[in-house]
């Protein structure tokens, strides 16, 4: 199981109380344990806090808003993804707009990715190949 130092644990606890709308919508679905999988929200991992984490599947889920495509945030995401992959964790990135549009379908797609991985399922309709350095739903 991934853990983080005390400052990261405190930051994660704070972030659990201040989740964004897409995170709240997705958490409502993931906490129901789709496919029997347990997900954690705002989970500390080293110096990072993951939006969601499934330890059983070694899968981190990051909900990316517009800011994640910009400057330093994008570089921070790249560094976090590389660190997680070195820990044996797959990273799945999901656009916040997709979560808002259909959180139930996104949670189902996440559970399938968690159980079967990238290679067993083609990208969702309208999606291209899995991006380098992490997956996308």
| Residue 56, C-beta contacts closer than 8 angstroms, at least 6 positions apart | 37, 38, 114
What does the pLDDT look like over 18-44, one tens digit per residue? 889 999 999 999 999 999 999 999 999
Q: What span, in angstroms and rounded, lies between the C-alpha atoms of 91 and 104? A: 20
Write down the architecture of domain 6-136 according to CATH. 3-Layer(aba) Sandwich (3.40)
- pLDDT at position 68 over 50: no
Residue 119 — pLDDT band, cuts 50, 70, 90? very low
**Domain residue extents for the chain:** 6-136
What does the pLDDT look like over 46-66, one tens digit per residue? 989 999 999 999 999 999 886
């Amino acid at each position: 199981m991934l853990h983080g130092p005390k400052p990261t644990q405190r930051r994660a606890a704070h972030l659990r109380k201040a989740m964004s709308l897409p995170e709240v919508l997705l958490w409502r679905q993931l906490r129901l344990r789709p496919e029997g999988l347990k997900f954690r929200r705002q989970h500390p991992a080293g110096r990072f806090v993951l939006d969601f984490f499934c330890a059983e599947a070694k899968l981190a889920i990051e909900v990316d808003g517009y800011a994640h495509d910009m400057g330093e945030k994008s570089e921070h995401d790249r560094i976090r993804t590389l660190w997680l992959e070195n820990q044996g964790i797959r990273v799945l990135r999901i656009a916040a707009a997709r979560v808002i549009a259909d959180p139930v379908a996104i949670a189902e797609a996440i559970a399938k990715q968690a159980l079967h991985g990238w290679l067993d399922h083609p990208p969702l309709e309208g999606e291209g190949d899995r991006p380098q350095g992490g997956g996308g739903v």
